[in-house]
Structure 1
């Protein structure tokens, strides 16, 4: 067992990176409606604010702010990952450990989390999230990536349409607050 420790501050804002086990998969965008439904249901039971979110084919980044007095983001990720996997047919390769534990082989076991420390740290992570579809060469203009809160950020005046390349408004699905 590792000595891995996570920072837990009630009511704080956190940056997360969550990966699929199969980094060549497109499961997250192929099953985007299921992912959105799962996140929505999790938020209803365990509230949190989505500051920013981008979903790429095999990983996602997000900024969440937890309610005051609550630091349990691990529960939320457990619910999201479990509920998403539960509603998919079992097609992935599973190890003996997965089988012994009754686990699916969809997600990487851990995820990356970072406690946001100040306004500059927040802005850097917010921008990093939204720039990711260009970074990974999925699009040349951010407006062309539909699985992002970038569109909400434009509507609310945080970004201009031409931030890193602009265009027309599209629905993004992770824009609800």
Structure 2
């Protein structure tokens, strides 16, 4: 779970995410992001916080930050607050621009750090596609592949020991099966449809035609796990009610925890999904 704000001062490295209220756009013109970066740079220097990696999207922002005996909450809060004043002034709007609290997840290992940087750098994929991801100007990806100079606000030293430019480029651009799974509290990098899950279930069933398998239960479990739709959408597609979806998903999670055969079945179906 994300770390509460009062604990952030004790965490050296964090993945921070903030989203526009009601998921509204927080950047409307290129100059908006430039102003956001200036506000961030000033606040981070003031509060002794370092920016290690980032991706500024349309309605949310990702930042990997390191606390240098400073105050991450104050640095982020000041950045978001000052930028909101700018945005409200130029768009003639009033009220909060960002959701009431930002999310911050502590980084506790090198493996988690690598996956977090990969997640951040893959965020613009839906905008750019794979071929032009490195050209996205509002991300630190091209900095760590050696294709763009680091801006003054970015501290690259902590990551350079872990990120070989060629390997990092391949790691980010090459899809992984795990991209279908949620990343902590964040959405999956690759969407999964209920039809894809059904096809994967059918392929596993066809491989073991004489074995009776709990296909309905595992289909519902994977649909919920992989966020193939809202509860209402899954219920409508399977011609059941929302309560049944929730109850079956709960039953499947309990079975997954104690039944090795069910674990194997779920994994086989997941492994049958295409990597993309």
- How far off its partner does 1:36 sit? 1.1
Which one has more relative contact order, counting CA pairs under 8 Å at least 6 apart? 1
Conserved? CA contact 2:55–2:63, under 8 Å = yes
Conserved? CA contact 1:22–1:58, under 8 Å = no
SS in 1 for 2:145: helix
Q: Which residue of 2 aligns with 1:99?
A: none
Q: Which residue of 1 aligns with 2:267?
A: none
Q: Which contiguous aligned blocks of 4+ residues in structure 1 show a shift greater than 6 angstroms?
A: none
Q: Which has the higher helix share?
A: 2
* Correspondence 1:112 to 2:103: yes
- How far off its partner does 1:59 sit? 0.4
TM-score, with structure 1 as normaliser: 0.73
Instruction: Map 1:129-140 onto structure 2 (within 5 A).
Output: 129-134=120-125, 137-140=126-129
Return 5+ residue gaps in structure 1 as ranges.
95-103, 166-177
**Distance in 1 (alpha carbons) for counterparts of 2:113 and 2:62:** 13
Q: Which has the higher strand share?
A: 1
1:22–1:158 distance in 2 versus 1, CA, 3 Å: farther
TM-score, with structure 2 as normaliser: 0.49
Q: Which residue of 2 aligns with 1:12?
A: 12
SS in 2 for 1:106: coil
Conserved? CA contact 1:19–1:111, under 8 Å = yes
Q: Which residue of 2 aligns with 1:50?
A: 51
- How far off its partner does 1:49 sit? 1.6
Conserved? CA contact 2:40–2:76, under 8 Å = no
Q: Which residue of 2 aligns with 1:164?
A: 173
Indicate the structure (1 or 2) with the bigger Cα radius of gyration: 2
Return 5+ residue gaps in structure 2 as ranges.
147-159, 175-276
